[in-house]
Amino acid sequence: MKISLITVVYNAETFLQECFNSVKEQTYNDIEYIVIDGGSTDGTLQIIQKNRSAIDYFVSEKDKGLYDALNKGIRNATGEVVGILNADDLFADAHVLAAVAKTFIDRPEIDGLYGDLNYIHPTANSIIRTWKSKQNTYADLKKGWMPAHPTLYLKRSLFGVNGDYSLDLGTAADYELILRYFFTHKIVAVYLPLLMVSMRAGGISNHSLRSRLAAFVNDYKALKRNKIPYPLFAVMRKKLSKISQF
């Protein structure tokens, strides 16, 4: 089973080599590695060229942001399953993709899977938060629950049926896609009880009070778009649920 793994990057020279190393260390071999660069102006392109032999598809050009780049990666993917690894993140160990592939092979009825994630300090690599997931229910989705997006792996065929990432919801595009797939279209997704990704803290939705307010509003719009009842309640629960991760 081929897994298409997508890394979107823009001016991420600081941690990109570590990201590439964690991909090259994976024990699973049937990987199609796709790197989409948004036109970096730092040393990112030099790092990519150094690792070009490990990359199956690469393009560097201006885009409309992270989710536009992800959509571009998905359109160029040929694997049966699609996942992502952010440019400043790492796989938790060398066996993550082997576990992903085994789960899809052993359970051909599933459409997707997700697992656990650690938020780590940007430079010290110490754990700041632990996002331990669970097997979801529709009641959980109504209460603002979502899996950790960097741990989500989906069958590629789903994107042709259920659509790709919406570009009008800012940083809530991943949340909206999850609601659309899990709640509206009721895909079969299972929880893989495995630490899958170490994610460096400091995402684009948390840079400032303004960005946090925009994220709140866009989460609310994502809930409304997918007809989640009591969306204001759900978005409040979504935000408050992060407290237990510290």
- 147-194 pLDDT per residue, tens: 999 999 999 999 999 999 999 999 999 999 999 999 999 999 999 999
Place of tokens 């307010």: 213
Number of domains, the chain: 1
Structure-block tokens of residue 172: 């809530």
Residues 74 and 157 sit within 8 Å (Cβ to Cβ): no
How long is the chain?
A: 246
- State pTM to two decimals: 0.94
Report, as ranges of residue numbers, the positions in the chain whose pLDDT lies below 70: 203-208, 244, 246
94 alpha-carbon distance from chain centroid: 18
Domain coverage including residue 173: 3-245
Residue whose C-alpha is closest to residue 116's, from 182, 178, 175, 197? 197
Q: What is the pLDDT of residue 232?
A: 92
Structure-block tokens of residue 219: 């989460």
Q: Domain containing 87 — which CATH number? A: 3.90.550.10
